[in-house]
Amino acid sequence: MSDQTVQRYVHRRRAPTGKVILDGDEQPTWIGIILGGVVKLMKTSEDGRRQIVALQFPGQFVGRPQGKPSPFLAEAATDVELCCFPMSTFDTLMRESRALEQVVMNQTLEELDLAREWMFVLGRKTAQEKVASLLLLMAHHLSAGGDHACAAGAPPDKKENALVFELPLSRAEMADYLGLTIETVSRQMSNMKTNGIIAIKGARMVTVPDIAALQAWGEQAQA
């Protein structure tokens, strides 16, 4: 398949915050790559309890090969931009390119490890450790290579390695990712603030003056 042919079938798609990108129940007709924004995968039980089972960042696939439906709902956590391939096109590409196949396989294995690591967070960490873990995850994704807001302000001035980022999640979403309630998340954030581990500007703008201190905070210590 030539590049031109591929390009004819690819299309961009934008999804505003809160938009359902992929319903777990129906057979998807396309597969997408996140160009910008954050996607959350979640499961909701009949009585309304909700658990976010994965966060996906730019570069990751949404949907899966062969169009097997997965029992989770994909929703835009922020405004999201996708690059979408029709399912059939993507399958053809997979069959033609061993390299692409490799990439998909590796990404799937990575997601599996990620999910299992998070099982430890959910099953064995305290609220304090959970919130710290989430902030570390965010710091990692939104600073390193993410297109998403990083160093929104001026060049690093205060501390040599201070880190500023905007949380892509509401308190409710943080709670749903951590298996906590909104209130507990809020309390833990406040606690970290009073202890100087983080600074908060307007609920979503987070400054981490010292990553190491945050890391330490997320490993057992008590205030």
Partner DNA sequence: CGGCGTGTTGATCGGTTTCAAGGAAGGTGG
Partner DNA sequence: CCACCTTCCTTGAAACCGATCAACACGCCG
* Closer residue to DNA (CB): 13 or 50: 50
First to last CA, the chain: 60
Q: Which of DNA, its own copies, none interacts with 70 (beta carbon under 5 to 8 A by kind)?
A: its own copies
> In the bound complex, what is the minimum distance in angstroms from residue 109's beta carbon to its own copies?
6
Tell me if 19 sits within 8 A of 32, measured CB to CB: no
Q: What are phi and psi of 154, to 5 degrees?
A: -80, 175
Total chain residues near DNA (CB under 7 A): 21
Q: Is 204 in the site for DNA (CB under 7 A)?
A: yes
Largest CA distance in the chain: 60
* Closer residue to its own copies (CB): 124 or 202: 124
Q: Is 56 in the site for DNA (CB under 7 A)?
A: no
| Collapsed DSSP state (helix, strand, coil) of residue 3 | helix
Q: Is 127 in the site for DNA (CB under 7 A)?
A: yes
- How many Å apart are CA 111 and CA 34, to the nearest integer? 15
In eight-state DSSP terms, residue 185 is H
Give the sheet arrangement for strand 73-76, strand by strand: 20-22, 73-76, 39-44, 50-56
- Which parts of this chain interact with its own copies (CB under 8 A)? 41, 43, 45, 47, 49-51, 53-54, 64-65, 68, 70-72, 101, 104-106, 108-109, 111-113, 115-120, 122-124, 178-179, 220
Q: Is 22 in the site for DNA (CB under 7 A)?
A: no
- How many Å apart are CA 169 and CA 1, to the nearest integer? 40
Q: Is 181 in the site for DNA (CB under 7 A)?
A: yes
Q: Other CB atoms closer than 10 Å to residue 218's CB: what's the count?
A: 22
| Region near DNA per CB under 7 A, out of 21-29, 61-69, 172-180, 212-220 | 172-180
Token output for 31: 């597969």
Q: Which of its own copies, DNA, none interacts with 43 (beta carbon under 5 to 8 A by kind)?
A: its own copies
Q: Which of its own copies, DNA, none interacts with 211 (beta carbon under 5 to 8 A by kind)?
A: none
Which spans of this chain sit near DNA (rule: CB under 7 A)? 126-128, 170-172, 179-187, 189-190, 200, 202-204
